[in-house]
Every structure is written in C-alpha cells, then in structure tokens.
Structure 1
C-alpha cells in the first residue's frame, strides 16, 4: 500500500517536474550547462540525510574526483583487503547524485553485504562526459586493486546511471586488460544513452518518475557530440563475453525496464549467469525508501546475499543460472 501511494504521488508531482525541467534544459532559459550546474546542487540536500547508525567513513581524494569508504563498525573496514569490497556507483542521471545523496543507501548495502564499500563521486555533466565517468570508475578500481584487493573479492554495484556504469566500467576494464570484478549488482540500470528503445516501450506511459522524453533531452543536450551518440557509449551495445555474473533489480512499471531487458539479452547471448528480479509496481530505485518500504529492505537484503555469495570462495559456483531459468518476479 505504501508503494502504491508513493507511486501515485510521484506520478503527478515528480514526473511532470522532471519533464518540465527537461524542456527548459533543451530550449528554455536553462539550456545546456546551466541546467546541469543547477542539478549538481541537488547532492547538497543529501547532507540532511544522516548515514545509518554505526557507519564509518573515510574520504579519498583522487586527481579528478573524490570517493568515500563506508563500512559498519561491526564489519571489516577497507584495511581488511582479504575480506573483499564493493565499488559503488551512485545514480542521478550523470548530473545530480553524489556522496551525500547516496551515502545512506550505499551504507545499507555495505552493511547487508558485510564488507567495506567505496562510493565513487565520478565526474558528471557539465564537467565530464559519461566517458569521463567510466575513466574515473576504472581509476577507482585500479586503486582498490593496488591496495591489495583481488578482483575475485570485488563487486561492482550501482543504481540508475551508476547501475549502467557498473557494466560500462567492467567492459572498459576488460578492454584495457584488467581483470573483471567478481560480480555486478545493478539497481534499475540506465544502460542505454539512446532513448529510442525506451520511447517504444509500454512503460514509457507507466513510469511514475522517469520518461523517455526526459532521458532523450539529457542525451541530446549533454551526451551527444556534433549531434550524435556513439552506440558504443552504451553498454547494451557490447559483447558481454567474459563479463562477471550479475544481479539486476528493476520495477515492472519503470521505463528503464527496457535497459534491463537489453542487458539480459546481452548476458544470454554471452551465456553468462544473470538474475533479473522484476519488482511489482515499484518506484525507480525504490531501495532508497528502506526506512519506509518493506520491499526496499527485502531488496537490499537480497543484494547482500548476492554479494556475499559472490565473495565467498566456498560458494563460488553457486551463482544463478542464466536466464530465462532465473527470471524472478518479486
């Protein structure tokens, strides 16, 4: 009932606002970089959200971006390199998210998984293209490897834009000769920078928060170069041979279900294990609402189980079987 109420409220408030903002960013007074700079300030609101009790923090400054280690005081911290780690990539459509906005969600996932998590504040528009975001994530991954973590003990995780980045960064690591991580956990991944598939998907009219229109403006104004999008910027257009096992959580009503379905197709073609959980009538990245939504708490607990299994050498062979056998409706 709580989810249904939230779905109805956001559909008449947040979605119209986001569509209006997209229009202003495309042809209004906020066109281009103005809209993105304004959206960047949204992360400051995250300072109002305290981290869960018991959360420990350690800031790391890289040359072009920041990152923050998070772990619960009862769990091993980032110095326990043998226990494993999560590389977390926040969402926010490459414009709004950051360490503040996603600290609470990331810390919950770290606690559910029992290991330290590095939340990466990668470059976003207008200061960095998604290609720069991928470079920052790979740099953070190389840093973790240099600290002594083995790739078999590292999991990439992220939500929305960060969920898409988990796959893009793993592909980039593979192409650059780095070992891929042990697994990927993606929450409602935004993995196709071209909105053509989303516009044709029936969920474009059902999503309570996002629309193909909003994501298409983001692409045309922020991502495109000389008016064009390179298909290879989107992980859904790559060969996934050699990619790690993955978990995707997405709603049956949200527009990025199209992205999740495309990723599933790539995994099936490459014969790599993937679990696709489709949650009924859920909001985009509903896991944010864990304080109020029991479904969100259940979803985070399942992410924790997936990550712990991926990091547990004794359970290395217990990853899910490839789709369509392991498609779940939650």
Structure 2
C-alpha cells in the first residue's frame, strides 16, 4: 500500500528541513551535549495525555549487593489494575545512544501501555560520550533483573526498543542468553540500528530517500558510542551473534530509511538461527515512524500489530488462542464489539 497523503507530507517536510541538519551533525562531545539539552527542553512541551499515568522510578538497589541502580519511569494505563503485574514491557528508548530519555518516547510507550494493558518500564540508561558502551547494556540488564526480582515472570516480559534502543534491546537479548537469565516472552524492534559500523546503511545512503537519518552522521556518532574500546566488543555485533534459544521477534522498519538493509540482515540472521522472526517493511515510511501514531494512519496500524504480537507471545491460553492468528482474531472481535 502506498504511503498516505499525510505521511508523504511529513516526510517531505523533514527531508527539506531536518535531514540536512542531521547530515551535518558533528561527531564531538560538545555538539552532542548541546543537542541533548535541546531535545530535553523540547520534550518538556510534549503532552502525555490523560489516559496514562507516569510513575517515576529511582531504586538505588542497595539491598541487591552490587546491582546497578535502576532509574526511569513506569508508563501505565490510568484504568489499569493495581494488582501486581504478571507481565511488563521493558522499553529501551532510541536517540543514537547519546540523546533522548524516557520522556521523549512517551508517544510510543503510552500507546504500548494503552494497547497492550501492560505496564511499560522505561529505564534512564547512561548515555555516551560520558558513558560509552557497554554502560547502556549494563543498565538494561539491571532493569531486566529488577523486573525479575520483583516477581514479574520472564514469560510475561517483552523487551522492546527503537533505533539505538533497538540495538540495545537485541544486545540485551543476547546478554540474557549468555548469562543464563530466563528468556523474555518476545522482542520488538522499531527501526533498529543493527550495525554501529554503519557499513550497510552507508551503502544504502546512495539510494534511499530517508527524510530523517543520515548514515554518515550516524557513523560519526557511533565512534563516540563505542569509546576508546572501538568496535571490537562482540556484544555490539548483532549480525554475528549465535541467537541461541531466541524468543519470537517482531521487527518493523520504514521502507524509505537507510537502516532498512540492517533490519533485513538481522531478520535473516535470526531466521537462519532458527528464531521465529517477523520482519515488516512499511512502504515509504521513515525512521521510527511509530512515534507519530497519533497522526499517521500507518503508525497507528503498526502499533496495533505490535499489540497483537505482544498478546501472542505473552498469552499461553490452553484453548489454542495463544497464537498470532488467535491474537489477531481476538483483536478483530474486540474492534467489532
């Protein structure tokens, strides 16, 4: 299906007004800190809406004997039950590992909470260049352990993330496997930044009409993300990960973005390893178009697909409805009602 008129208009405006600026983002710490301050200030203007509650989280983890502190926020549907959660979404926000916060990504996390009925935990992980990789991964692991320690079963947890947060979510899945932690129910990746060396996206830059992301700018930022250790940390290399016993994965990527080949390569690697991976390429859409789920019909439809996936992987109904088809049928029935 061709992109909607609204989608084409927004993409055109971004291509003219934002992409040239993104392409010229300098890759040094001072410019990153300036950009971070601007993004944080802009996020204060975003309205979350009255249908969700934001609950701050700041747990120093003193009693756990050495675990990283967990900071961030819960995003919860306002009418959600106060009973202990039997499931949760652990959402890792994007921003190139250098900018953004739980607040900036509330358009996605609020929609997830409303559509799935699950509370969404969004950790405030450490950012580069002050804290290069693997600091963000250590914080993501700490957040996952935090959920487990509070009685949320792994079979009820879905790990999700966008862009750099998509890379972090996939890296977390690999780390969970390597460390022997119980596997989550599923993984959702929005426009994941799979290859921080940017080899595939740089090749695609010559052909794609990405209205937002510049592969060349991403490569400059990536050097700050990896820090002095460079790209040799095997936890960075998602395409060569073993992907043993990986839970079901849903990947959504825009057809117009330079990161599309990276998402396709990751889906191929997961499938080759025997994982259940669904790749959705949304024609003509830009990077993390799901952020615009209030205005773009494609973004709203994509979020509904995510809700069906979450229902499928967390639903072990004995009547056989715990399948993709069953989840879709239930969603259709609910919509008809």
User: What is the TM-score when the length of structure 1 is the normalising length?
Assistant: 0.88
Q: Does 2:216 match 1:213? A: yes
Q: Does 2:153 match 1:156? A: no
**Deviation, structure 1 residue 220:** 2.4
Q: CA 1:161/1:138 → structure 2, altered by over 3 Å: closer, same or farther?
A: same
**Deviation, structure 1 residue 36:** 2.2
Query: Could you tell me how far apart the structure 2 residues matched to 1:228 and 1:114 are?
Result: 39
Query: Could you tell me how far apart the structure 1 residues matched to 2:116 and 2:229 are?
Result: 43
Which of 308, 318, 322 does residue 311 from structure 2 map onto?
308
Q: CA 1:196/1:316 → structure 2, altered by over 3 Å: closer, same or farther?
A: farther
Q: CA 1:90/1:316 → structure 2, altered by over 3 Å: closer, same or farther?
A: farther
Q: CA 1:99/1:221 → structure 2, altered by over 3 Å: closer, same or farther?
A: closer
Corresponding residue of 2:55: 58
Backbone CA RMSD of aligned residues: 1.9
SS of the counterpart of 1:275?
strand
Corresponding residue of 1:37: 33
Query: Could you tell me how far apart the structure 2 residues matched to 1:43 and 1:204 are?
Result: 32
Query: Could you tell me how far apart the structure 2 residues matched to 1:188 and 1:175 are?
Result: 24
**Deviation, structure 1 residue 35:** 2.0
Which of 16, 20, 24 does residue 20 from structure 2 map onto?
16
Contact 1:67–1:121 (CA under 8 A) maintained in structure 2: yes
Equivalent residues in 2 for 1:115-154 (5 A)? 115-154=118-157
Contact 1:81–1:147 (CA under 8 A) maintained in structure 2: no
Corresponding residue of 1:114: 117
**Deviation, structure 1 residue 306:** 0.8
Q: Deviations over 1:151-174 (max 9, x none)?
A: 000000111111111110011111
Contact 2:137–2:171 (CA under 8 A) maintained in structure 1: yes
Contact 2:109–2:120 (CA under 8 A) maintained in structure 1: yes
Corresponding residue of 1:324: none
**Deviation, structure 1 residue 228:** 4.8
Q: CA 1:164/1:227 → structure 2, altered by over 3 Å: closer, same or farther?
A: closer
Q: Deviations over 1:40-99 (max 9, x none)?
A: 22123212111132211221114455211111122235x5222x1100011111111102
User: What is the TM-score when the length of structure 2 is the normalising length?
Assistant: 0.87
SS of the counterpart of 1:88?
strand
SS of the counterpart of 2:262?
helix
Query: Could you tell me how far apart the structure 1 residues matched to 2:156 and 2:231 are?
Result: 38
Corresponding residue of 2:334: none
Contact 1:189–1:260 (CA under 8 A) maintained in structure 2: yes
Query: Could you tell me how far apart the structure 1 residues matched to 2:205 and 2:23 are?
Result: 18
Q: CA 1:122/1:73 → structure 2, altered by over 3 Å: closer, same or farther?
A: same
Corresponding residue of 1:70: 75
Q: Does 2:193 match 1:190? A: yes
Q: CA 1:221/1:71 → structure 2, altered by over 3 Å: closer, same or farther?
A: closer
Query: Could you tell me how far apart the structure 1 residues matched to 2:311 and 2:322 are?
Result: 13
Q: Report the count of equivalent residues.
A: 310
Contact 1:203–1:254 (CA under 8 A) maintained in structure 2: no
Contact 2:108–2:290 (CA under 8 A) maintained in structure 1: yes
Contact 1:95–1:124 (CA under 8 A) maintained in structure 2: yes
SS of the counterpart of 1:149?
coil
Query: Could you tell me how far apart the structure 1 residues matched to 2:201 and 2:261 are?
Result: 6
**Deviation, structure 1 residue 119:** 0.9
Contact 2:255–2:286 (CA under 8 A) maintained in structure 1: no
